[in-house]
Structure 1
């Protein structure tokens, strides 16, 4: 019984251009156009989901996906850093930013640690693997990173070594608790 999980990273939004901790802002015009251009290029899925962020829901809408939002697929909760730029936080709290980048258990921002994010996504993947078929989810890049960390069984510290470009598909296929990982293809390409 094989399960295929396709994780689609959202099109670029304003927060990414500013290197801002997600403030749940909208897609940019270019992101909207690119998502719209990719509509109809993804394979059909038995189950579709979307992260609750505006950016992910907008991407799913532009792609024409009837996806249901689920809080379990939300990006990492950034607490008091949400909406601020990385530069602002690094100027005000350089030690905290350093800890955030090196300690997967850091929660000094008042949000969720990377380990907690990875555990949450691992639980979701485990539940998805209970049923064979195809799953498609539009999720934040940090959720894609967490899924890759879990699929490969690598330490959480590898999280920051994974780049997830906008509007790419990362595929996981597996059965029996073992996942294979296909990284970052453009929609419509196999």
Structure 2
């Protein structure tokens, strides 16, 4: 049996444009328009899942999909840094930001570490491998990164070196207890951000 998982990153949002640790804000006008233009261009799936984040839910709706929210697909819990920009946090806590970006086990913000996120997503992928048919999931970029880290058996230290542009599709196909990866294709009707 071959399992296929299509991970769709959400469209552009105000928070992303401002390099703000997600404050669960909505899509910006351009992001919403690009998601609407991509409606109908994604692969058909047996199930459509969505991160509980606002921008993921709105991207799913703009794509014309009806997704089931899955808590395990939530983005990285940023604790007390949520809603602040990277520049703000870097100015106030430069050592903490440095540790956080270099040590996957570090969570100076009081939220979730990269290692914990990767473990959570790995558990979800293990379950997804047992499902028949295609799974399409609209998820935050860090969930895509965590899935790639798990699928390829990469060390957590590479997490921040994986770029996930808005409104791209990362495909995983699983067979014989392993995943193969097809990175970052854009839905047919979408230009790069």
Which structure 2 residue ranges, 5 or more long, are not aligned? none
Following TM superposition, the consecutive aligned residue runs of length 4 or more in structure 1 with deviations greater than 4 angstroms are none
Task: Output the CA distance in 1 between the equivalents of 2:23 and 2:29.
Answer: 17
Under a length normalisation based on structure 2, what TM-score does the superposition of the two structures give?
0.96
Q: Shift in Å at residue 112 of structure 1?
A: 0.2
Length, aligned pairs only: 189
For structure 1, the residue ranges without an aligned partner over 5 or more in a row are none
Across the aligned residues of Structure 1 and Structure 2, the Cα RMSD in angstroms comes to: 0.8
Deviation at 1:175, TM superposition (A): 1.6
TM, length-normalised to structure 1: 0.98
Partner deviation per Cα, 1:6-61 (whole Å, 9 max, x = no partner): 00000000001100000000000000000000000011101110000100000000
The equivalent residue for 1:64 is 64
Q: CA deviation at 1:176?
A: 2.4
The aligned runs of 1:113-152 (5 Å cut-off) are 113-152=113-152
2:182 matched residue in structure 1: 182
Q: Which stretch of the first structure deviates more once superposed, 129-138 or 26-35?
A: 129-138
1:4-83 residue pairs with structure 2 within 5 A?
4-83=4-83
CA–CA distance in structure 2, aligned partners of residues 75 and 131 of structure 1: 22
Q: Distance in 2 between matches of 1:52 and 1:87?
A: 26
Q: Deviations over 1:35-90 (max 9, x none)?
A: 00000001110111000010000000000111111111000000000000000000
- Partner of 1:84 in structure 2? 84
Distance in 2 between residues matched to 1:29 and 1:131, nearest whole Å: 35
